[in-house]
Amino acid sequence: MRNVSHALKPQDILILLKIIAYGKTGNTNWQQVPLAESLNISQAEVSQSLVRSKYAGLLDGSGKKVMRLALMDILQYAIAYMFPQKPGAIVRGIPTAHSALPLKSEIQSEEQYVWPSAHGNTKGQSITPLYPSVVDAVIKDQDLYQLLALVDALRVGRTREKNIAINELKFRILNGE
């Protein structure tokens, strides 16, 4: 018998957020292959992620619908502990956390946080994204980009930034259906 781990991985959060972003565009009948391609993740990784998310109660029995309250609980109370991040060296990249929309319009800060990327044109402290393919995926999907930037605010932000990010995530995730 194969020993299978059902512990969540960073790509699980990415995939769940992508499914939510799909719903915002009206695509509730998504398929694994296009999902994998949009995130630059293998179809096998997507399949394994969906199994872990179903096991954790983050997807319904069909594996198609995100259990939004459960995901919000993880984001609000656990993401900073599960996948912690500390700002690093100054690099060029794509803005994230409070340096990206929607928080950028509410929080004024001299500090810039970025995902390191040759595609970016902002200099700031580097933040390692939840998963390496995030940088390429967000270039194609603004809804996903904003969700991931809000998640990064929970991973690296101060109390005020976290509180604003939580409220924004609740609005976007819980009111999505």
Rounded Cα gap, residues 102 and 18, in angstroms:
17
pTM: 0.94
pLDDT at 26 over 70: no
For residue 116, the cross-strand partners are 93
Number of H helices, E strands in the chain: 8, 3
Render pLDDT for 122-151 as a digit per residue (tens, 0 to 9): 999 999 999 999 999 999 999 999 999 999
Render pLDDT for 88-127 as a digit per residue (tens, 0 to 9): 999 999 999 999 999 999 998 899 999 999 999 999 999 9
Report which DSSP code applies to 133. Answer: T
